[in-house]
A and B are shown apart, each in its own frame.
Chain A
Amino acid sequence: MRLSRVSSIFIFVVTVIAAQILTMATGTVFLLTQLTMTAYYSLIVIGLCLLMGFAGQISLGHAGFFAIGGYTSAFLTTFDLMPHREKAFVALLAKLHMIHARPDLYGGVVLTVHPVVACLVAVVLTCVVAYAIGIPVLKLKGHYLAMATLGFGTIIYSIVLGTQCLGAADGISSVPPFQIVPGLLVSGIPEARIQNYYIAWGLVAVSMVLLVNLISSRVGRALRSIHGDEDAANAMGVNTARYKLNAFVLSAVLAAVAGIFVTHFNGGIGPSEASIVKSVRYVAIVAIGGMANLWGSLMMSSVLNFLSLRGYFGALDDAVFGAILIIVMLFSPEGILSFNILQVLKELVDKGRRSKEAH
């Protein structure tokens, strides 16, 4: 049974609200913190799902875009402009109301770029980087594309890890909350738990509406035709390079937005967010969700990220993802949701019978 677009979104929204009410009713409101983080990580996953499942392009460097978003925003909102306030550029920013003064821990005043401006800068920077990387990288196929994006992720990781002003191995901490509109604060303080939960899942819902509409439009058909056969798509007049690039940039921006919000929500970001293991994990979740299945990816991302964030996998966190990844790819490459155990057993039995007859 296939659900219509509207009813899928409706079920999703109801589930989100029900989950929040459930935590309230059972006195487990503290779970909302992990659920909020889960939402942000799901944002990367659905973006990657568009790129991998629909455009058919693998990216092993999406944690890099997450880090670009998070680190840019964190750096701009923590870098103290006080010593530089006489300079013309800072004065200009102040005139444009892009500067934000707040008290620091020791009673002094810190002058930083306003979080909203920082967020915009981070998104624009991600777009620029994604275009710059995407134009050459997306000409590659298969292994070359995988390795090139893996390489991009590694470069971002080593830059983040090796740069002193980005905190090197410690990352950036004490990132201020991000006020979207007065009253709505992206912050990890316990009082703001519920509103943050809705901000996060609201963001996911908006992105889902956007993506679901996108893939059932002309663009979506173009992307799927690229996945099917790029040369054929080209011959039919689909501008494959442009569609691939735009899908890549869109998914990069979603990753960056997730990075920005997670950073402000947690009040900090560390280099582990940019690591290859994270990139692989996002790819794993898309693969488990069934590649070209936005709702499946979102569902798997919600479950797996939540379990992982709650620490259910313990020290075996990465091993669990690796194992699930292999098992799904071996037995059910269409994703775990399409896994049909009876079918697989039947095929195995048939195969055994056939090979017996052959002998």
Chain B
Amino acid sequence: MFVELFFQYLVAGLTYGIIYAVVGIGFNIIYNTTGIINFAQGEFVMLGGMMAVTLFGFMPLPAAIVGAVLITMLVGALIEVVFIRWLVNPSVLRMIIITIGISILIREAALFFWGEGVRSLPYFTGNEISSLDISGVHVSPQALWSLGTCGIIVVLLNIFFKFTMLGRQMRACASNREAAALCGVPTRNMVTLSFVLSAGIGALGGCVVSPITYTQYNIGTGLAIKGFTVAVLGGLGNSMAAVAAGFVLGVVESFSIWVMPAAYKDAIAISILLVMLFVRPSGLFGNKETSRLKEF
């Protein structure tokens, strides 16, 4: 019985971990090309989920999800073009405040359009009570959908960054912007692309976990903090490590319910972030030697 319960918590933790990982990857993509932490990252997840729920009223589920992802990508592009593209050497403090302002505006717009209600997409296969029995552990099919989608995102991202021209250009832009520009990489477009990409990934993540975790207009800030925790745990800029860290955080949170009241669940994640920042800002998988050269 104890072992089964253990695995049940583990699966629940992994399911939540996916969405943290998705937000963490989104942070990393934008951070890599621009050096900005986009505080509105969590809002992309919310927008994706909300948009898909609305579109689902008019069209079949797959089309609604594709539509939601595309619209969120457009929003991401708009944010970059309107607010960020034309700033000349903005200070970090200014960028933080601007992205926070953007997140407030998106959240308030969502409140205006969709109200305070909690929404969710239907389960992709089966329903709330259907579960797959994997040697005594009950797993919701939606959890498998989420895990699968996250896995595909990670694999595709890897292929994109390693083997396509565009992906290589983005990486060049990340490692040295001036050098990339000298080699003819349109660095400004790469920045826009990074916003589009991370908005799309966030929205897709928001869609697949929506049936399990539900979507509400104000989930963005919490997700942003957790996503940042994950990004820092894995070492900022390292997307693969962020996925691993996402699962670690999800599982730790899930097991924390065993010893602490569920109301303090969020405090656990953030305490991990704080301790991590104080003790090892280079991340669990980061290199301590190279991190000495960075500023934290």
Residues of A in contact with B (beta carbons under 8 Å apart) = 52, 56, 58, 60, 136-137, 139-144, 146-148, 150-152, 154-155, 158-159, 161-163, 276-277, 280, 283-284, 287, 316, 318-319, 321-323, 325-326, 329-330, 333
> Which residues of chain B (97-121) have a CB below 8 Å from chain A?
97-98, 100-105, 107-109, 112
Q: Are B221 and A147 in contact (CB under 8 A)?
A: no
State A154–B228 Cα separation when bound (angstroms). Answer: 14
Q: Contacts of B225 on A, CB cut-off 8 Å?
A: 147, 150-151, 154
State A322–B107 Cα separation when bound (angstroms). Answer: 10
Partner of B281, one of A144, A152, A330: A144
State A330–B92 Cα separation when bound (angstroms). Answer: 13
Q: Does more than half of chain A's interface fall in helix, strand or loop, or is it mixed?
A: helix
State A350–B241 Cα separation when bound (angstroms). Answer: 46
Q: Contacts of A58 on B, CB cut-off 8 Å?
A: 93, 96
Q: Are A326 and B273 in contact (CB under 8 A)?
A: no
Residues of B in contact with A (beta carbons under 8 Å apart) = 37, 39, 83, 87, 90-94, 96-98, 100-105, 107-109, 112, 221-222, 225, 228-229, 232, 261, 263-267, 270-271, 273-274, 277-278, 281, 295-296
Besides A139-B278, A142-B92, A287-B97, 17 more A-B contacts (Cβ < 8 Å) are A136-B277, A142-B295, A143-B92, A151-B273, A152-B274, A154-B266, A158-B264, A158-B267, A162-B263, A277-B104, A284-B101, A316-B108, A322-B101, A322-B104, A325-B101, A326-B83, A329-B101
Q: Contacts of A287 on B, CB cut-off 8 Å?
A: 97
Q: Contacts of A155 on B, CB cut-off 8 Å?
A: 266-267, 270-271
With contacts A139-B278, A140-B281, A150-B225 known, is A326 near B101, CB below 8 A?
Answer: yes
Partner of B108, one of A137, A142, A322: A322
Q: Are B37 and A143 in contact (CB under 8 A)?
A: yes
Q: Contacts of A144 on B, CB cut-off 8 Å?
A: 232, 277, 281, 296
Q: Contacts of B100 on A, CB cut-off 8 Å?
A: 60, 280, 283, 325
Q: Are B264 and A323 in contact (CB under 8 A)?
A: no
With contacts A136-B278, A158-B267, A329-B98 known, is A319 near B93, CB below 8 A?
Answer: no
Q: Are B105 and A322 in contact (CB under 8 A)?
A: yes
Q: Contacts of B274 on A, CB cut-off 8 Å?
A: 136-137, 148, 151-152
Q: Are A151 and B296 in contact (CB under 8 A)?
A: no
Which residue, of A143, A161, A163, has the highest number of chain B Cβ atoms within 10 A? A143
A168's nearest neighbour on chain B, judged by CB, is B263
Q: Contacts of A158 on B, CB cut-off 8 Å?
A: 263-267
Task: Tell me the minimal C-beta distance from B102 to chain A in angstroms.
Answer: 7
Q: Contacts of B105 on A, CB cut-off 8 Å?
A: 319, 322-323, 326
State A318–B274 Cα separation when bound (angstroms). Answer: 27
Q: Are A143 and B266 in contact (CB under 8 A)?
A: no
State A61–B105 Cα separation when bound (angstroms). Answer: 20
Q: Are B87 and A330 in contact (CB under 8 A)?
A: yes
